[in-house]
Amino acid sequence: MSDRLLVLVRHGQSEWNLKNLFTGWRDVDLTEQGVAEARAAARQLMERQISFDIAFTSALKRARRTLDLMLEEMHFANFPIVTDQALNERDYGDLSGLDKDDARKKWGAEQVLLWRRSYDVAPPGGESLRDTAARVLPYYLAHILPQVLRAQRTLVVAHGNSLRALVMVLERLSPADIVQREIATGAPIVYRLNADSTVASRHKLVA
């Protein structure tokens, strides 16, 4: 039986995750904890004898470095990697770089919660989750899913919101359901797909 494997991993903790700042497309690096999370994610996959043929990641440093650390830990050299900004984090627009508590003081907790947690309300100058899905999903359908259906074991290392867009489609979640879903840093989600691209099984790996 073909192994139609798709594994999603959110990057390890970033410097701005630690500082409680809105990050979006700002290109920040991992913290020491983030580096440890990336390596731990790789070890969890190795312990379950999960391997890969190809990987996709965003154009942002924190995702690409997480992938590089995972591949290093798994002893993969000269491994095929596809990088595309279609997998970038949601653009937080005018919120980018702001402390989340300061944003609440400026605009009010209810408005900031709406920007962060609604499906289709975008922050000023930024993207809603629906906007993020509008660029992530066509890329998934055109480039990632065909690899999986060809039994190319596929790893995607990206961001909380770009991955939530994929999870929404894979698990057939409603807009109301997906806004409640959190994706932890460095915690692989392992899917195996049916031939018709629906999900046969899902397992979240925890340390």
Q: Determine whether 11 is an active site residue.
A: yes
Measured CA to CA, the distance from residue 3 to residue 48 in angstroms comes to 14
* DSSP classification of residue 196: T
Cβ pair 9, 187 in contact under 8 A: yes
Measured CA to CA, the distance from residue 59 to residue 66 in angstroms comes to 12
Measured CA to CA, the distance from residue 126 to residue 88 in angstroms comes to 13
Q: Taking the chain, what is the end-to-end CA distance rounded to the nearest angstrom? A: 29
Q: Which residue is catalytic, options 37, 89, 127, 159?
A: 89
Measured CA to CA, the distance from residue 190 to residue 197 in angstroms comes to 14
Q: Which residue is catalytic, options 11, 37, 127, 159?
A: 11
Q: Determine whether 110 is an active site residue.
A: no
Cβ pair 158, 63 in contact under 8 A: yes
Measured CA to CA, the distance from residue 32 to residue 13 in angstroms comes to 8
Measured CA to CA, the distance from residue 62 to residue 11 in angstroms comes to 6
Over the Cα atoms of the chain, what is R_g?
17
Measured CA to CA, the distance from residue 117 to residue 111 in angstroms comes to 10
Active site amino acids: 11, 89
